[in-house]
């Protein structure tokens, strides 16, 4: 696959190219409700009922993401984490203990530019680049990509100082704990597969969510039908598709593949130092 060509087409577009999976499943559920309702069930409008999806039988697998187009830069100005002043008004040299613990925030921003809109119950798992994990920046090993096309995650990173500062007679010493920060930008591609039986409940909100109707269907087949009805090509990534389905061997199910394209920005502290300045009274 010509990655550079596809990435330019995908990642420079102003509007994200997204397939709305929750809406696809909602439309299928309502349509099936009308097609299979009993006389008693037809008394209810499915739009006014609570629609609940059960994902217990859906299998989701995430490949290792591919990261590329790395840009890493050191931020030009160090961040002052803590500052204090020691005043020596005596005629003798004084030593002061300088002990402090503070936290900075490591920030990860994810922007999805091509992929699938997900529900709150369903999220993609994006394993972070090795370079981020090696930096010990406080991030977890993976980030959950949920329903939003843009999201930001913050993690705390602890820093500590325990040293002694010598101050001459009739002098003041100012000490600052500073943090050098880096920012890393990159693009990513993540392939996800999902398959299994989707179970759907229609509940009556007026009567304590009483079950009105139960449905189930093959997730891959539901998505395939939606793609066809919306004239979305399912030729796989080599032809520019980011969502497609394939038949599963020895099964009447279909498996759905999703390729999520996006950009990441990471900002985190990489180095701590203490800067001391002195002046006479």
Q: How far, in Å, CA of 21 to CA of 10, rounded? A: 19
Query: Does the structure show a pLDDT above 90 at 63?
Result: yes
Q: How far, in Å, CA of 131 to CA of 68, rounded? A: 12
pLDDT > 90 in the chain, percent: 74
pLDDT tens for each residue of 187-228: 999 999 999 999 999 999 999 999 999 999 999 999 999 999
The Cα-based distances of 30 to 45, 46, 51, 196, 253 in angstroms read 9, 6, 9, 20, 21
Q: How far, in Å, CA of 221 to CA of 19, rounded? A: 15
3-state secondary structure of 236: coil
- Predicted confidence at residue 231, as pLDDT, reads 73
- Predicted confidence at residue 11, as pLDDT, reads 47
- Predicted confidence at residue 171, as pLDDT, reads 96
Q: What is the CA radius of gyration of the chain?
A: 28
- Predicted confidence at residue 84, as pLDDT, reads 95
Report residue 135's pLDDT band, with 50, 70 and 90 as the boundaries. confident
Q: How far, in Å, CA of 81 to CA of 35, rounded? A: 64
Query: Does the structure show a pLDDT above 50 at 5?
Result: no
Q: How far, in Å, CA of 59 to CA of 257, rounded? A: 12
Report residue 268's pLDDT band, with 50, 70 and 90 as the boundaries. very high
Query: Does the structure show a pLDDT above 50 at 129?
Result: yes
Q: Which two tokens stand for residue 162?
A: 């325990």
Q: Which two tokens stand for residue 230?
A: 């919306």
Which candidate, 147, 128, 148, places its Cα nearest to that of 138?
128
- Predicted confidence at residue 7, as pLDDT, reads 40
Q: How far, in Å, CA of 115 to CA of 18, rounded? A: 5
Report residue 147's pLDDT band, with 50, 70 and 90 as the boundaries. low
Q: Which residue has the higher pLDDT, 39 or 138?
A: 39
Number of alpha carbons in the 13 Å side-chain half-sphere of residue 78: 14
Widest pairwise Cα distance in the chain: 99
pLDDT > 70 in the chain, percent: 91
Pinpoint the alpha helices (H) of 76-206: 130-134
Q: How far, in Å, CA of 138 to CA of 158, rounded? A: 8
Q: How far, in Å, CA of 188 to CA of 110, rounded? A: 10
Q: How far, in Å, CA of 109 to CA of 150, rounded? A: 7
Structural domains of the chain ordered from first start: 66-188+265-280 (2.170.15.10)
* Mean of pLDDT over the chain: 89
The answer to whether the Cα torsion of 236, 242, 245, 248 is positive or negative is positive
Query: Does the structure show a pLDDT above 70 at 68?
Result: yes
pLDDT tens for each residue of 225-250: 999 988 776 666 666 689 999 999 88
- Predicted confidence at residue 236, as pLDDT, reads 64
Residue with the two structure tokens 């269907």: 217
Mean pLDDT of 159-178: 95
């Amino acid at each position: 696959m010509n990655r550079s060509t596809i990435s330019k087409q995908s990642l420079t577009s102003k509007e994200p190219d997204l397939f709305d999976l929750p809406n696809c499943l909602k439309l299928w559920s309502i349509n099936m409700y009308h097609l299979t309702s009993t006389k008693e069930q037809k008394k209810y409008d499915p739009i006014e009922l609570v629609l609940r999806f059960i994902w217990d039988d859906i299998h989701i697998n995430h490949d290792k993401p591919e990261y590329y187009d790395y840009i890493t830069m050191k931020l030009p100005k160090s961040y002052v984490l803590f500052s204090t002043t020691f005043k020596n008004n005596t005629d003798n040299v004084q030593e002061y203990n300088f002990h402090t613990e503070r936290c900075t925030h490591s920030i990860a921003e994810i922007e999805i530019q091509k992929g699938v809109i997900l529900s709150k119950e369903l999220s993609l798992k994006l394993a972070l680049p090795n370079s981020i994990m090696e930096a010990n920046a406080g991030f977890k090993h993976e980030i959950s990509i949920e329903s939003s096309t843009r999201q930001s995650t913050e993690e705390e990173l602890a820093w500590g100082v325990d040293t002694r500062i010598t101050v001459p007679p009739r002098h003041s010493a100012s000490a600052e704990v500073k943090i050098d920060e880096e920012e890393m930008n990159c693009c990513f591609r993540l392939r996800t597969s999902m398959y299994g039986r989707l179970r759907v409940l229609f509940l009556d909100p007026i009567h304590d969510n009483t079950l009105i109707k139960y449905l189930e269907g093959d997730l891959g087949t539901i998505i395939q039908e939606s793609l066809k009805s919306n004239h979305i090509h399912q030729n796989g990534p080599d032809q520019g598709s980011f969502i497609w389905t394939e038949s599963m061997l020895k099964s009447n199910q279909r498996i759905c593949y999703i390729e999520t394209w996006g950009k990441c920005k990471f900002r985190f502290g990489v180095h701590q130092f203490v800067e001391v300045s002195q002046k006479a009274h």
